[in-house]
C-alpha cells in the first residue's frame, strides 16, 4: 500500500536526509509528514485478528488488547477504521480544543516536526492543530462501534482562552463527546507546544477540581475520564497528583506526554542526531518523543502503581503508559510495572516502517 511504500523509502532515506542542513531536513519532514499521513489515513488494509488472550478489561469496557495510538495521531478523528483493521486495542481521537487551530509556524516551517532516525526519537512543535471539539465529536458520532475496540477522545483547554471560560469550554467539549457516544475521555494537561495555564501543582489541582464538579459528578452514564500528565512529572509529585485524581473521582492517569528536558535527553541520542536535535530545540523548543522517554514513562508508571498499592482508590482506577513504547517487550514491561493500557506514537511509526499494517500483529506475535 502507498503509505507502507512511503514509510519504507523514508526509513531508507532518513539517514541520508539527516546529512542535509538541519533546517532543510526539518522543512522536508514537516511537509512530508502531511503527505504521508493523508495516504496513511485513507488506507483500508486487510483486517488483522489479535488473539483473544490479549484482551484487557478496564472500567468494565473490553479492549481487545492493551495497546492503542497515543493522542495527536488522529487529531481530527481520522484513522478509526484503519486502527480497527490493523488490530489496535482501542482508538483515541484528538487532542481537540474549542476553536479550530492551524498549528504553529516559525521561520516559514508550518507544524514543525523532526525525526531523529538514529535514535528512534523525534521532536514536534505542532501546536495542537485540530478542527475543534464540535467537528470531531460529530465525526466520531457517525462511527460504528466495534466490539472490543473502544473509542476515546483527548481534549484540552483552548490556549487562547483563560480561567473559568477555558474550563467551561472544555467541559462543553466533554459533553459533546459524551453525546457522541465515546467510551472514554482523556484530558491533556501537558502539551508543551502551546500555553495552557500554569503548570504549578496548585493550578492543576484547581483545574481538575473545576472539571470534577462541572462534569465528573454530573455524569449520567459510565464515561471514564483519565488525565494525561507530562513524562517530565517529578517522581515526588506522583503521589499528590494521584491523591487529587482519586479524591476527585477521576478514573485513570496517563504518563505521559512529550518532554522538554532537552539536556537530559540529548545524552541518550545517537551523536549523529545532535545537529538536528540542537537546531530543533533551539529554534522551536517543542516536545521530545520516542526512545528517550522509555525509562521516564516506565519509572512514573512504577511509582504510580506503588503509591496506589498503599493508597487504594475507592473506585476502579487505571494507569496508562505512554512514552517510548515500541515493542512487545515494552508492552510486557508496562504491564509488569502496573499499566493496564499503553499508547504509542513514535514507536508506532518505527514499527510501521518495518512491518507496515502488520504492526500490531507483530507486537502480539511476540
Contacts with ligand FMN, residue ranges (CB under 6 A) = 70-72, 75, 95, 113, 122, 124, 126, 128, 154, 188, 191, 228, 257-258, 289-290, 293, 322-325, 344-347
Closest distance to ligand FMN from the beta carbon of 280 (Å): 12
Rounded Cα distance between 250 and 315, Å, is 9
Helix, strand, or coil here: 229?
strand
Closest distance to ligand FMN from the beta carbon of 321 (Å): 9
Closest distance to ligand FMN from the beta carbon of 348 (Å): 7
Phi, psi at residue 154, to the nearest 5°? -105, 135
Phi, psi at residue 185, to the nearest 5°? -125, 150
Q: Taking CB positions, which residue lies at the least distance from ligand FMN?
A: 72
* 258 or 311: CB nearest ligand FMN: 258
> Is the Cβ–Cβ distance between 326 and 351 less than 8 Å?
yes
* 247 or 335: CB nearest ligand FMN: 335
In Å, how far are 9, 98, 210, 303 from 360, measured between CA atoms?
21, 33, 38, 28
Residues 6+ apart with CB under 8 A from 123: 112, 113, 114, 116, 277, 280, 281, 284, 286, 287, 288, 289
* 6 or 247: CB nearest ligand FMN: 6
Closest distance to ligand FMN from the beta carbon of 28 (Å): 15
Closest distance to ligand FMN from the beta carbon of 188 (Å): 4
* 51 or 295: CB nearest ligand FMN: 295
* 158 or 293: CB nearest ligand FMN: 293
* 210 or 345: CB nearest ligand FMN: 345
Closest distance to ligand FMN from the beta carbon of 71 (Å): 3
Phi, psi at residue 54, to the nearest 5°? -90, 0
Amino acid at each position: 500500500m502507498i503509505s507502507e511504500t512511503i514509510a519504507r523509502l523514508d526509513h531508507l532515506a532518513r539517514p541520508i536526509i539527516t546529512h542535509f542542513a538541519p533546517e532543510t531536513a526539518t522543512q522536508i519532514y514537516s511537509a512530508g509528514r502531511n503527505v504521508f499521513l493523508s495516504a496513511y489515513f485513507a488506507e483500508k488494509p486487510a483486517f488483522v485478528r489479535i488473539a483473544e488472550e490479549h484482551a484487557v478489561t478496564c472500567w468494565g469496557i473490553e479492549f481487545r488488547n492493551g495497546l492503542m495510538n497515543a493522542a495527536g495521531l488522529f487529531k481530527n478523528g481520522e484513522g478509526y477504521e484503519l486502527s480497527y483493521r490493523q488490530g489496535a486495542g482501542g482508538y483515541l481521537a484528538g487532542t481537540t480544543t474549542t476553536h479550530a487551530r492551524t498549528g504553529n509556524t516559525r521561520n516559514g516551517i508550518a507544524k514543525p516536526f523532526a525525526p531523529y532516525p538514529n535514535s528512534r526519537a523525534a521532536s514536534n512543535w505542532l501546536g495542537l492543530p485540530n478542527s475543534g471539539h464540535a467537528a470531531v465529536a460529530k465525526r466520531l458520532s457517525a462511527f460504528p462501534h466495534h466490539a472490543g475496540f473502544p473509542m476515546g477522545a483527548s481534549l484540552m483547554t483552548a490556549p487562547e482562552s483563560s480561567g473559568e471560560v477555558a474550563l467551561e469550554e472544555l467541559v462543553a467539549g466533554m459533553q459533546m463527546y459524551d453525546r457522541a457516544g465515546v467510551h472514554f475521555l482523556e484530558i491533556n494537561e501537558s502539551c508543551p507546544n502551546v500555553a495552557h495555564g500554569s503548570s504549578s501543582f496548585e493550578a492543576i489541582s484547581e483545574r481538575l477540581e473545576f472539571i470534577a464538579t462541572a462534569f465528573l459528578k454530573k455524569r449520567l452514564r459510565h464515561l471514564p475520564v483519565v488525565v494525561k500528565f507530562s513524562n517530565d512529572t517529578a517522581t515526588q509529585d506522583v503521589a499528590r497528583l494521584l491523591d487529587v485524581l482519586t479524591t476527585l473521582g477521576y478514573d485513570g492517569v496517563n504518563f505521559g506526554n512529550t518532554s522538554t528536558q532537552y539536556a537530559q535527553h540529548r545524552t541518550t541520542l545517537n551523536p549523529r542526531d545532535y545537529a538536528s536535535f540542537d537546531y530543533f530545540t533551539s529554534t522551536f523548543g517543542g516536545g521530545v518523543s520516542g526512545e528517550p522517554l522509555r525509562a521516564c514513562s516506565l519509572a512514573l508508571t512504577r511509582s504510580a502503581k506503588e503509591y496506589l498499592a498503599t493508597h487504594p482508590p475507592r473506585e476502579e482506577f487505571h494507569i496508562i503508559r505512554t512514552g517510548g513504547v515500541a515493542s512487545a517487550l515494552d508492552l510486557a514491561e508496562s504491564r509488569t510495572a502496573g499499566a493496564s493500557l499503553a499508547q504509542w506514537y513514535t514507536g508506532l511509526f518505527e514499527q510501521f516502517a518495518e512491518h507496515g499494517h502488520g504492526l500490531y500483529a507483530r507486537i502480539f506475535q511476540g
